Structure 1
């Protein structure tokens, strides 16, 4: 079609031509049928003889005959055919806007009455004054329960056809449908007509109803065409399509909003979990600092010399008083509470600083992966496992057990990076950094009063526990590892941790002496250098102890830690105890004479010869 045809199609496409046809034939603008071009003589004749087209155009133009004539001229229809079409074909009257086509003042000289709708449009009547389904000016406007306003006669015909929905919105109407006169709109039309179109008013300034003779005509004996009903059907179809599109758009919007809300909830849960884990890290830090201050107080606010404790810390006696790992105290005195307290005992200031730095570095990383309970469980399992292993293998030394939990966190972080290596771009550098931190803490573990057995136990049980927790997060996440394999690994790791705890506890109950039965185990516990001596961590007896050698030499150890070797010529139980008390009294700065009858004369050195005194 040419440009004129396109213009016509755009202007008149909304009209329902198939339902306003006088001859009963159907034409649907949406069917894809193209109008003939101006070069087709037969097509132009068909256009000029088609009263349905004229009716559609007049309805679309709201009765503006000048606009209709312009459209027809653009299509190339001659003026005689224009007048013929506008005045009806085969005896049909073309009615538009509520005025008969044979009374049109613009296209018939015999017309004597004005076209009300066309005149009202030219005078600037608002669009709200026209019925949305008939394009006629309101004479008797009524309201539906949906709030839409229609002309009474068209909406009554609509409802009489068995329809139960609003023509414009498609909303279902409840039976019986009540039509309420729109008095406000009618008064507004009457006020406007009084100023601009007085011919619309009757006696008393009221709107004149549409006369019966101006209803749509009958053609060739066929049943009267209900144009208003047809247009209402078309409007409802358009509204339904628009509602369907709106429903689809709303569904997409709803899905997006639900997804966004779900993501916001997950983000809020994630933030809340991190905040709770931060509180846990603060609690752990406060516990370490509190135990450190308590140890300092029990040590009379003094630090030992660096050759005794190179970590700027306390003596073995001070650490033992606060609750450090002490095998004889746990096994013989049943002080099992030391296993828990020792998790928070640090040997010195350097040890405390390294512990807190690791807790916050590794703890903050794991707080994004674990919950408050998971992280707390991991920390305590690692720490307790380290203390239990240390109590079995460092049986003659006092040790601080804070390193066990640190190595447990380190092992879990390393497992997380290796398991989700595709997530971490710098996983190689991160792994090397973790190994460096572990090596530094292992060096600290070689000093007196710190034990690498605690680090080994914490690393082993901590890594297994952390792996079981992290693998639990992969359930249902589409992981490549099968669900059964994940569950099996979790069970295996948990069983191994429980087995380590059971074996270590049995070792304590059986008083296993790992330090004396394993030569290389001593090097793991502490390593002598020119800067420190591991004997500084030795557990001191609570009374005088003597050991008789095979060459009559007896080694006496006092509770103060001083040792003395003497030769015994006539060893008896009473004489050994008396001499032991005498030597230990001298070592403590309070000379004392053995009780009468319990030992030799000190002046004559009866039976005893001092050999060496290491004080």
Structure 2
């Protein structure tokens, strides 16, 4: 296979590093400290939720009206203010920009934001170790489309379940790449040395990543949305090796079926989100947060 230069992964990682550094400055401006230490230390060595929202984190009230939070006309101030935002607060104080609940770019910008140095190091390690290798094989355009589609779908999917949670990071996009690795394993099973061992390794990575997703700012729903989007986009954009006419026909059929499937999924995700009919799931937040140290009781956890 032709080897490509990994421009996309290097550019994305540098942009994410720059925004991590910028987030310290924003946190300093809003709270007087470079990292969050009050009311508790941000274990990822990074900013509080308020500065992350101000920078473009996914926070549903900044994207559309949320009943009981922003739509009560008799309420001058918001009932809850994210950590780092001065109380009492209004929507403009929390969201910044134009202060209106129509900031659709919050499904894209969070891919480049992180909850702190630790969060960034984990994601950057995977991008530079695995993502760069994949881009050398796939090319920047293919890997870029898979990466961004998985990241966006992950944030939209999570927004349907966790309305008042703050979410940042490229984990959804990276889960899309992980899904492509799994797809590549199954499509080229006969070429892989010890394929069962490779499958076991990937399974362990998925389990560990979902466990890390229980921590604040990291959205397991974004992981799931990114993973399934990665499978479909991988069927469409990944270069493939064929083993005879039937195998070639089978892979072409899967590619053709994946095109309308991914379009329908994106349409359904956005229609569900903007309809305002949030998933009635009182326990869903516990898939994203460890119920200790008060994290799950905080609006921003």
Category of TM-score, reference length = shorter chain: 0.7 to 0.9
Report the CA distance between 1:537 and its aligned residue: 4.3
Alignment correspondent of 1:441: 209
Structure 2: runs of 5+ lacking an equivalent = 66-100
- Partner of 1:299: helix, strand, or coil? helix
Structure number with the higher helix fraction is 2
Report the CA distance between 1:532 and its aligned residue: 5.1
Alignment correspondent of 1:321: 54
Structure 2 Cα separation of the partners of residues 456 and 401 of structure 1: 14
- Asked if structure 2 preserves the Cα contact closer than 8 Å seen for 1:387 and 1:454, the reply is yes
- Asked if structure 2 preserves the Cα contact closer than 8 Å seen for 1:386 and 1:401, the reply is no
Report the CA distance between 1:482 and its aligned residue: 4.6
Structure 1: runs of 5+ lacking an equivalent = 1-265, 540-615
Structure number with the higher strand fraction is 1
Alignment correspondent of 1:284: 12
Alignment correspondent of 1:396: 164
Q: Deviations over 1:155-184 (max 9, x none)?
A: xxxxxxxxxxxxxxxxxxxxxxxxxxxxxx
**1:153-302 correspondence to structure 2 within 5 Å:** 270-271=2-3, 273=4, 275=5, 278-300=6-28, 302=34
- Partner of 1:519: helix, strand, or coil? coil
Q: Which runs of 4+ in 1 moved over 4 A?
A: none
Structure 1 Cα separation of the partners of residues 222 and 189 of structure 2: 29
Q: 2:197 aligns with which of 408, 412, 429?
A: 429
Report the CA distance between 1:352 and its aligned residue: 0.6
Structure 2 Cα separation of the partners of residues 525 and 305 of structure 1: 22
Alignment correspondent of 1:362: 130
2:260 aligned with 1:492, yes or no?
no
Report the CA distance between 1:478 and its aligned residue: 4.7
Go from structure 1 to structure 2 and tell me whether the alpha carbon gap of 1:468 and 1:397 turns closer, same or farther (over 3 Å shift): same
Query: What is the TM-score normalised by the length of structure 1?
Result: 0.40
Report the CA distance between 1:427 and its aligned residue: 2.6
Structure 2 Cα separation of the partners of residues 533 and 305 of structure 1: 14
Structure 2 Cα separation of the partners of residues 446 and 488 of structure 1: 37
- Asked if structure 1 preserves the Cα contact closer than 8 Å seen for 2:285 and 2:296, the reply is no
Structure 2 Cα separation of the partners of residues 501 and 520 of structure 1: 25
Structure 2 Cα separation of the partners of residues 512 and 345 of structure 1: 27
Q: 1:527 aligns with which of 273, 284, 290?
A: 290
- Asked if structure 2 preserves the Cα contact closer than 8 Å seen for 1:382 and 1:405, the reply is yes
Alignment correspondent of 1:44: none
Find the structure with the greater CA-based Rg.
1
Q: 1:352 aligns with which of 109, 120, 132?
A: 120
Query: What is the TM-score normalised by the length of structure 2?
Result: 0.79
Report the CA distance between 1:512 and its aligned residue: 2.7
2:218 aligned with 1:450, yes or no?
yes
2:300 aligned with 1:538, yes or no?
yes
Structure 2 Cα separation of the partners of residues 311 and 439 of structure 1: 20
Go from structure 1 to structure 2 and tell me whether the alpha carbon gap of 1:282 and 1:368 turns closer, same or farther (over 3 Å shift): closer
Structure 1 Cα separation of the partners of residues 198 and 146 of structure 2: 21
